[in-house]
Each structure stands twice: as C-alpha cells, then as structure tokens.
Chains A and B, each alone.
Chain A
Amino acid sequence: MGTENLQHPPVVHFATLDKLLNLGRANSLWPLTFGLACCAIEMMATGASRFDLDRFGIGVFRPAPKQADVMIVAGTISKKMAPAIVTLYEQMPHPKWVIAMGNCAISGGPFKFEGQYGIVEGADKILPVDIYIPGCPPRPEALIEGLLLLEEKLTGSRRWPRVEPQ
C-alpha cells in the first residue's frame, strides 16, 4: 500500500522497508494549502488551536504542491476550477493521496440537480480519491477521523481505538 497510486508499481517489494517507509509517510502527511469553499473554513479550524492537526504531524500545510503529500479537496469543484486542481494534483510527487471533504467533493452535494452546468459532480470524476468524508460541512472531528483512516490505510493499524456510534 502507499504505492498503489503509482502508474508503474515497483517490481520488487521489500516488506520491512515498505512498512517502515509507510510508517514514516503516515506520520508526516503534509496537506496542500488550498480551499475551494466553506469546507476549507472547517479545515482551517481543524489546523488551529482547538483541534490542532499538528499533534499527528499533519499540521505542516505546504503552499507548494512539490512538497505536499495529501490533497484535501475541501469544497465545491466548479468546472472552471477543475483543470487547475488536476494540474496541482499532477504537480505533487508520488506517493500522494486525495481526500474528498464534504458532500460537494463527494457527489456535488446540494448543487447536483438535473440540468446543472456549473460544477463537477464529485472529486472522483477527476481525481483518484482515497478517503471520503461526508458532511455539509464535516466537523473538524470528522476531518481528523478521515486523516486517521488514511493513516490506517497506509500502515494497516489504527492509532486510537475506534469509537462506536451510540
């Protein structure tokens, strides 16, 4: 795992080394600094003092796509914005992951109706999405849960025990 985004997966796998690399990657997921709509406000709140993404090593929001690992698609993707987002995604070096945050990034959300012409109906129409976080907008706890799920996808083990819904 972790290299599954590669178009040409490696021929030889080193099991222990891959585990170590994935452990390193999972603990240092640097997101790309960009927001598209109101979900970005929740993303900022998640990075700020009350929720503090930096606890998990995720807090280094990098402005340059060359230095980022995770793309958090936070908001509605309009058709005019879609090419720019694809360019940003393609500029990120491998390995890279995409999180679709909020209903707009999952399916178009409230803007999806018959005859609409302005938006892309879901980030997965243009990008390979790893994690979907529902909500309109999702709360910061939900974004943290999504990032922990991405870590679980990388390392295969869960950092904290899962909380069962009551």
Chain B
Amino acid sequence: MSGYPEIFRVLAYIVGTLAFVGLNAAFLVWLERKVAGHIQRRIGPKEVGPFGIIQSLADGIKLMSKQLVVPERADGLLYRLAPLMTMTTAIMVFVTIPFGPALVARDLNLGMLVIFAFASVNVLALLLAGWGSNNKYSVISATRAVSQNVAYEVPMLITVATMVMIVGTMNLNEIVGQQGNLLQWKIFPWNGSVMLPVAFLIFFICALAETNRAPFDLGEAESELVAGFHTEYGGMGFGLFFLGEYAYVFVGCALTSIFFLGGWQCPLGWAPGVHWLLIKTYLLVFVVMWIRWTFPRTTIYGLLNLSWKVLVPFALVNLIVTAALLKVF
C-alpha cells in the first residue's frame, strides 16, 4: 500500500467514485424503467439506442441544459446547498466499501461506522431542500423524510450492533473475510445466532426505508405532495437528488450483501473478486425495484408503526438472544 504518493490514492478514489456514481445512476434509471415497464406489461425505453440503453444519457443532457430557476422567496443558500450536500455524502459513503480484497479506498477499522455516520447526514440535506424551497409541500415532505429516517435508523443500528457482536469487528473487509463460502454466509442461522435470517430481513427493510424507496417513499408521495422535497428543483438540482438516491440504493444493497451474503466472496469459494459484490448487489437492487413496482405506498402512520411496534421489538429480541447465545457458547 506504499510506494506512491498519498495524493494519487485520493485522486483515484475521487475520480473512480464519481464515475461509478454517475454510471451506476444511469444504469439504474434505465433498469428501473425497464423493470417497471415489464412489470406493467409494457416494454419500457426501447427507441433511444439499442434496448434504450442511452436513454439515461439523453435524460442527463436534457437535465443539464434546462434553465436554472431559484424560486423568488426561497432561501438561496440552502436551496443551492442541499443537492450538493446529498451528493457529497453519497460520495463519502463509498470510502470504506470493500469492492474487492484490495479494492477499497480506505480500509478503516471503523469503516461501518463511517458509512452510517455519513448516510445520516443525507437526511439533513433533504431537510434543507424542503426548508430552503419555501414550499409547503416540500416542508411536509422533508419532515416526513426526517421522522422516517430517525425511526428506521434505530432498528437498523440495533441490528448492526448485533452483527458486530457476532463478527467481532467493524472493518467491512474483515466481515467479508469471515464468509468464505455459501455455508459461512451470515444470513444462515448456524453462523453465530439463530436469529440471523430475522436480522437480514430487518436490515433489508430498514435499508429500503432509509433510501426512501417505495413502499416507503412517503417523502415524495406524488398523490399528496406534488413531488416531495424536490418539488422546486428542476434541471440538474433534481438530477443530483436522483444521483444521490441511486447511490444510496447501491450502498444499502452493497451493505446488505457485505453483512449477510459474503460481499466479494464467491459462493463456492473459487474466485473472489469485484464481480461477486456487483452481482449480489445488483440482484438485491433488482429486488428493491421489484418491491417498488409491486406494492402500493403505505401511510405515514403505518410506516412509523411498522418501525416502532414491529421492527424495534424484533431487533431488541434479536440483540438479547444473540448476546445470550454468544455468552453461553
């Protein structure tokens, strides 16, 4: 890890992450529209390029060349700051994600903590966007997004604490290193605690809710709140919010696969590498889209009740049972 100046590593990380976030969003927008189309017995984008794959490029050109409008009575600074903030945190969470055995920007001891810390700041960006636009729908949507994120961070972090007790480290690369083949994946109940499948479900549901995806997209409920916190954002401001959202979808699914599905390890233990993390993550992303286009949106009360009355008790039981099992055996 030495032999070249530190600045090259930082540059490689910034360029690589920006390129990855952009390409990831372009691919996921196209995939989302294709999945939505096929689930609704349509075809989805097909005329712009073969199978419509350059549809996202056309959308990007269009968004970048739109007129920039700042609403007259908006708070100009916060209004301009919010999309940048959501993008900055989205890029920062990629610092400690281990794409491969050696392919990680910074192999920190507390890598997991860094990701959750920066992901929490994203909520502040949504709040600033809603507050700065001076639009009543944006403010309602921002408060909803904040209450939802606060509610779902509790069971998510309790589950993560359980996982840390089992694996005994907060370094994501070491967590992956413990899951050499299919039978050692932490989703299975014989790898530390009988509650592990429950932990997987809780974590995945919380990841869905944290990224504001349907059926938990109360923040941008079109039927009630026009377009939610980005009602007043057009052009690339809106585009940045979507880049950030898809980056977070990727990060949520990548974390799920790192914790429970073995990250960059091959299920059969042959050839670990980047491709396995990408395959597992994009399969989970597909499940996220499948859920989005299958289930209707919940209500805000149903959403909060699910968190405080179902997920938090289950996460606590999971914590206690796991602690007891670790103590006894």
Question: Is B66 at the interface (CB under 8 A from chain A)?
Answer: yes
- B46 cross-chain contacts in A, Cβ below 8 A: 55
What string of 1s and 0s marks CB contacts (under 8 Å) between A57-76 and chain B?
A: 10110111011010000000
- B42 cross-chain contacts in A, Cβ below 8 A: 48-49, 52, 54-55
Q: What is the CB-to-nearest-CB distance from B280 to chain A, in angstroms, rounded to a whole number?
A: 28
A66 and B43 within 8 A (CB): no
A55 and B43 within 8 A (CB): yes
What is the CA–CA distance of A57 and B43 in the complex, to the nearest angstrom?
A: 11
What is the CA–CA distance of A63 and B152 in the complex, to the nearest angstrom?
A: 27
Question: Is B55 at the interface (CB under 8 A from chain A)?
Answer: yes
Question: Is B2 at the interface (CB under 8 A from chain A)?
Answer: no
Q: What is the CB-to-nearest-CB distance from A95 to chain B, in angstroms, rounded to a whole number?
A: 8
B234 and A66 within 8 A (CB): yes
Question: Is A78 at the interface (CB under 8 A from chain B)?
Answer: no
When A54-B44, A159-B47 are in contact, do A28 and B227 touch as well, CB less than 8 Å? no
Main secondary structure of the interface of B (DSSP, over half): loop
A62 and B61 within 8 A (CB): no
Question: Is A20 at the interface (CB under 8 A from chain B)?
Answer: yes
A66 and B59 within 8 A (CB): no
- B48 cross-chain contacts in A, Cβ below 8 A: 27, 56-57
Question: Is B102 at the interface (CB under 8 A from chain A)?
Answer: no
- A126 cross-chain contacts in B, Cβ below 8 A: none
Question: Is A139 at the interface (CB under 8 A from chain B)?
Answer: no
A59 and B61 within 8 A (CB): no
What is the CA–CA distance of A48 and B41 in the complex, to the nearest angstrom?
A: 9
A25 and B65 within 8 A (CB): yes
Question: Is B235 at the interface (CB under 8 A from chain A)?
Answer: yes
A contact residues vs B (CB 8 Å cutoff): 20-21, 23-25, 27-28, 30, 33, 48-49, 52, 54-57, 59-60, 62-64, 66-67, 69, 92-95, 159
Ranked nearest first, the 3 interchain pairs of A and B with the lowest CB-CB distance are A24-B61, A66-B234, A27-B58
B contact residues vs A (CB 8 Å cutoff): 33, 36-37, 40-48, 52, 55, 57-62, 65-69, 222, 226-227, 230-235, 238
Add 9 more A-B contacts to A24-B61, A64-B234 (CB < 8 A).
A21-B61, A28-B62, A52-B42, A55-B43, A55-B52, A67-B233, A93-B68, A95-B65, A95-B66
